[in-house]
Amino acid sequence: MKLFIYEHITSGALINTALPASLEREGNMMLHAIVEDFLQIADIEIIILRDGRLSNMTITNPALKTLHIDSEHAFQKAYNTTKQQADFILPIAPETDGILFEIQHSILTEKGKSLGSQSNAIAISADKYQCYQVLQAHSISTPLSIIASEWPLLKFTSPNGYIVKPRDGAGCVDTLFFPNQSALSFWLTKQGNHLDQMIIQPYFVGTSISFSLLCSELGASVLSINHQHVSEKQGTLSFSGCTVNSVDISELTIEQATLLAQKVHQAVNGLWGFIGIDVVITDSDVMVVDINPRLTTSYIGLHESLQTNPAQLLLTMMNTNTLPIISHRQSVEVLL
């Protein structure tokens, strides 16, 4: 099988722009982890694209072919050729600006052989306001979300502060915290006409966790429950990694996580493959904050945590349409 693993940030797609340092590091680490996992499976040839400004991957294996990109023209040629040659494509890209949606839609339209979610599931998950509406409609607990431009009409009280973030953001990029209504309202008056592309949510004091899922057409299997390392400094939230499978059963059990994951899978039709769900646990509730219809940072520690190959679990699921039963989970730290 010829597999094209396309990691957007490190691929050369951004060859004419400066690479965001944090996303470059995260992308490199996810790419390295999943390439290593697939290389352990027999009869697989892997192709990746590599931004020519980056150092070579540290993996040396004849089954891995790297195409180095030094111009926009070289990227487009390599991307289109490899996409056509590959038997399957696994896209890893941020939801921001519709990037992941466009990549996946193109793959499914032209090839139909993607190891990822359907386009409609990506569209819903990527638009945080639409995702909020879908989760609400399916009675899944999620923070109240309003479009930032509607704040004067729909403003609400949040005793612990407010979160403002892009409707289509990834991770904590451009995610802001405001301690009170006056600080938020003052900031909003300075933002011009971009407020339709931002949402406002109440800030909840609690534990930030994520689920790493493997989803088929039939349901979802929880591979790990992870503590998210999220901090706030000078009004900006940042993400510095996670601890895979570190959540104690006193906080949330695998059974509780599985039930919630199944509800999300039913609410967002078309989620498939590796999926992430961001959750906050408060004293009184477990709320879904975001759905990430793609590989997430926790994958970096997943193989070590499960003591089994997640890439093999994906292929087995694809070939048999059966979800894995996980028997081993251990805590693994992933630092960015």
H or E element, residue 213: strand 207-215
**Euclidean distance between CA atoms 323 and 321, whole angstroms:** 7
Instruction: State the CATH class of domain 125-139+205-335.
Output: alpha beta
pLDDT at 173: 84
Average confidence (pLDDT) over 258-266: 98
Residue 64 has pLDDT above 90, yes or no: yes
Same fold, 2-115 and 125-139+205-335: no
Stretch 58-73: mean pLDDT, rounded? 97
Mean pLDDT of 115-138: 97
pLDDT tens-digit readout, 50-60: 999 999 999 99
Write down the pLDDT at residue 20.
Answer: 87
Rounded distance between C-alpha atoms, residue 269 and residue 293, angstroms: 11
Write out pLDDT tens, residues 17-26.
Answer: 999 888 899 9
**CA quadruple 93, 95, 96, 101: dihedral sign:** positive
CA–CA separation, 70 and 259 (whole Å) = 47
| Domain residue extents for the chain | 2-115, 125-139+205-335, 146-202
Express as a percent the part of the chain with pLDDT over 90: 95
Prediction pTM value = 0.97
Least-confidence region, from 144-148, 169-173, 209-213, 270-274: 169-173
- Report yes or no: 208 and 278 within 8 Å, Cβ to Cβ: yes
Q: Which residues contact 216 (CB under 8 A, 6 or more apart)?
A: 272, 317, 321, 322, 323
Answer whether 336's CB lies under 8 Å from 239's CB.
Answer: yes
pLDDT in tens, 169-214: 877 888 999 999 999 999 999 998 889 999 999 999 999 999 999 9
Which of the listed CATH numbers 3.40.50.150, 3.30.420.10, 3.40.50.11770, 3.40.50.920 matches domain 2-115?
3.40.50.11770
4 Cβ contact list (under 8 Å, min separation 6): 46, 47, 48, 82, 83, 85, 86, 88, 89, 90
Mean model confidence pLDDT for the chain: 96
Per DSSP, the three-state class of 296 is coil
Q: Is the pLDDT of residue 112 over 80?
A: no
Helix (H, G, I), strand (E, B), or coil: what is residue 151?
Answer: helix
Residues 289-319 have pLDDT tens digits of 999 999 999 999 999 999 999 999 999 999 9
Task: Determine the average pLDDT of the residues in 227-243.
Answer: 96
Helices 99-110 and 72-85: angle between axes, nearest 10 degrees: 40
Contact at 8 Å (CB) between 128 and 168? yes
Q: What region, left, alpha or beta, does residue 67 occupy, with left being phi > 0 and alpha being psi -120 to 50 degrees? A: beta
Cβ–Cβ < 8 Å for 128, 169: yes
Say what the pLDDT of residue 193 is.
84
Q: In the chain, helix, strand, coil percent, each to 5?
A: 35, 25, 35
> What pLDDT is attached to residue 192?
84
301 token code pair: 């520690």
DSSP annotation of 36 reads H
